Structure formats: C-alpha cells, structure tokens
C-alpha cells in the first residue's frame, strides 16, 4: 500500500475546504427549491364539499397562482368528519409544498370539540391568512330591542328565555354564542339546526329571537326588514355595514369572532417554498379587482406572514378550547 505524500497540515486544509463548501452549498440548495417551485401541478385540498365557503375563497386564488407561478394549482375535494378527513390527508402528505390545504374557523375549534383528532395543528406549516368574513348579531323584529345595550338588558332580565339559533351543536355559531354569553354574564338557550337555512326561517318567524349571521347572508333579510342588526361580533366593523358598531366597541373588551380562511401545507415543507407561496398570496389579496369581488361576495381579503398565521392559529385553538371546556360543548351534543 502506498503512503500518501500529503502532510498533516495539507490534509487538515483539505478537510476545512470541503466542510466550507458543504456548508455554503446548503443555502444554495434551499434557494433552488424556491427557484424551481412549482415544477409540477400543485393540489389544494378542500376538506369541505364543492360550493362551500372555502370553495368560494379558494377558486379565485388558484386561478391567480396558476397565472402568477406558471403551473396549475387545482382543487381536490376531500370532505368528511367536519373537515378532519381532508386535514389529515394533508398532515400526512409529502412535505414538499405541493399539497396545500384551505382551512376555516372549524380547523381550530375541532380540537376542542372532538376526541382523538388524528393530527395536531403543529403537523402543518402555516402559509398565509386568506380572508375574513364579518359576522353580525341580528334579532327578530318582534323582540323589543333595537341596540346591543338593550339586548344585554333584556337577556339579563330574562335569563334562558332568549332562543339563540345555531347551525348545529358544537358549530362555530354555538361556540360564538357561548363565548358572548360568558363575556357578558347572560344566559341564553341554544336551538340547534342542521345548517343555517331552517334557522333563518325560524328567526324571521320569531320562533328564535337572536342569531349570528355573516354580513353577506344577513343583508337581504335586513333590507327586507325581516331581521334587525344590533352589533358586529368581529372586533372591527365591516365594509358592508360601516355604521354598525362592534361588541368590542360597545364594552365587551377583547371579544372578537369572525369567520376566516387560511392556507396551510404539510409540516416540514421547505421554508423557502412556504415563503414564496405567502408572498404570492399577499400579492393576490392586494389586487383591487380581487378585493372588490371579495367584498361583493361577503368577505374581505387579508394576508399574513407564515409566522403570524402560526401564532393566530395557536391562539384560536386555545380560545375555543377554553370556551368548550367552560361550557361543556362537544360536537353533535344536543
């Protein structure tokens, strides 16, 4: 066996150079993943059915991303178990940023309402917030209240006599009502429907007296004089009803409920890819035409950094967990 002619100092120098080359190549590799993304079709999983609220949020975004990033972004419907089936599919997908997920408020409330959810919110990489849906509190016109202050006075004088319609036991409208009742020291009776349609019929007829409604859903009923708006449940006012104050403005400090939509991907996906997607989504939300269309359809576009979305989701999980525990709420309870 021949002996090497390299001196120990030369060997050490060679090892040092190799180490530096390896280290310096890592940012280049990371950068290349963003430079080449997307190199194939990207799938956005919608954990609800076609025509759902999330579908309305997703489709214009996918059209924009396809045009802006040069590869097709397509939707894959995987409904079931309140969104859990689709969510779980993305949680277990390859962490490469090619499988995205659109989520709504129920993504965070499910952890409080359902036992044995097969994933953690930490199994996902937050990308960006996408939308907010302002929600208002409305009452039936036969109820003798014309303001939020009068509503509170009536509820406190008549504990458990106000019927609050929800879109189902454990639904976010149920949770929002329990949250408001606790925050205001009122007691109400929840009436659960399978969806919103029959609940709105009963509200108009006076069989229930109060309910949350998205601004978009409520406007036709308000214009027809069939319901009376008394406050925004969101912390800020909506563009559609800028003269209606929020409950936070009216003294319920810290109360904020709004519907929202956001984009996630599988945890462990490259940060450079996640940031590229977040930047593209932010550009989409700033398009005047997209923003105007969103307002016409009852929501408002809003983006965020991945870090900000992660903190928001964590706070929502904690908030709805507290509401569910304190009110003994589970999905499907009657």
**pLDDT value of residue 44:** 98
Q: What is the pLDDT along the chain (334 residues), one digit of tens a residue?
A: 444 444 544 444 444 444 444 544 445 444 557 889 999 999 999 999 998 889 989 999 999 999 999 999 999 999 999 899 999 999 999 999 999 999 999 999 999 999 899 999 999 999 999 999 999 999 999 999 999 999 999 999 999 999 999 988 888 899 999 999 999 999 999 999 987 788 889 999 999 999 999 888 899 999 999 999 999 998 888 888 899 999 999 999 889 988 899 999 999 999 999 999 999 999 999 999 999 999 888 889 999 999 999 999 999 999 999 999 999 898 864 3
**pLDDT value of residue 32:** 52
**pLDDT value of residue 4:** 43
CATH number of 135-232: 3.40.190.10
Neighbour tally for 322: CB within 10 Å: 13
The CA distance from 249 to 231, in Å, is 9
CATH superfamily of 40-132+258-327: Bordetella uptake gene, domain 1 (3.40.190.150)
Domain with CATH 3.40.190.10 in the chain: 135-232
**pLDDT value of residue 28:** 47
State the pTM of this model: 0.84
Domain with CATH 3.40.190.150 in the chain: 40-132+258-327
**pLDDT value of residue 332:** 65
Residues 6+ apart with CB under 8 A from 195: 167, 168
**pLDDT value of residue 110:** 93
pLDDT in tens, 233-273: 988 888 888 999 999 999 998 899 888 999 999 999 999 99
**pLDDT value of residue 118:** 97
Give the total residue count for the chain.
334
């Amino acid at each position: 066996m021949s002996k090497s002619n390299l001196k120990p100092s030369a060997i050490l120098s060679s090892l040092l150079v190799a180490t530096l080359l390896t280290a310096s190549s890592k940012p280049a590799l990371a950068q290349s993943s963003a430079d080449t993304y997307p190199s194939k079709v990207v799938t956005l999983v919608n954990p609800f059915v076609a025509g759902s609220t999330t579908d309305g949020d997703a489709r214009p975004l996918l059209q924009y991303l396809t045009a802006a990033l040069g590869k097709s972004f397509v939707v894959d419907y995987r409904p079931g178990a309140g969104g859990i089936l689709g969510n779980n599919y993305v949680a277990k997908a390859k962490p490469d940023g090619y499988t995205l997920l659109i989520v709504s408020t129920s993504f965070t409330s499910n952890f409080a309402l359902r036992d044995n959810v097969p994933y953690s919110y930490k199994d996902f990489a937050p990308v960006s917030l996408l939308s907010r849906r302002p929600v208002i509190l409305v009452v039936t016109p036969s109820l003798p209240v014309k303001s939020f202050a009068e509503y509170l006075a009536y509820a406190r004088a008549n504990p458990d006599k106000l019927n609050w319609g929800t879109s189902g036991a454990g639904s976010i409208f149920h949770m929002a009502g329990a949250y408001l009742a606790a925050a205001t020291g009122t007691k109400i009776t929840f009436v659960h429907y399978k969806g919103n349609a029959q609940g709105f019929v009963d509200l108009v007829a006076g069989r229930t007296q109060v309910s949350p409604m998205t601004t978009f859903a409520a406007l036709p009923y308000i214009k027809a004089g069939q319901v009376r708006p008394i406050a925004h449940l969101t912390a800020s006012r909506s563009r559609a009803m800028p003269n209606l104050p929020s409950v936070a403005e009216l003294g319920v400090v810290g109360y904020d409920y709004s519907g929202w939509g956001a984009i996630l991907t599988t945890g462990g996906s490259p940060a450079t890819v996640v940031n590229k997607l977040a930047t593209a989504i932010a550009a989409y939300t700033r398009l005047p035409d997209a923003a105007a269309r969103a307002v016409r359809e009852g929501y408002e576009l809003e983006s965020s950094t991945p870090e900000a979305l992660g903190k928001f989701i964590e706070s929502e999980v904690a908030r709805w967990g507290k509401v569910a525990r304190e009110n003994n709420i589970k999905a499907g309870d009657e």
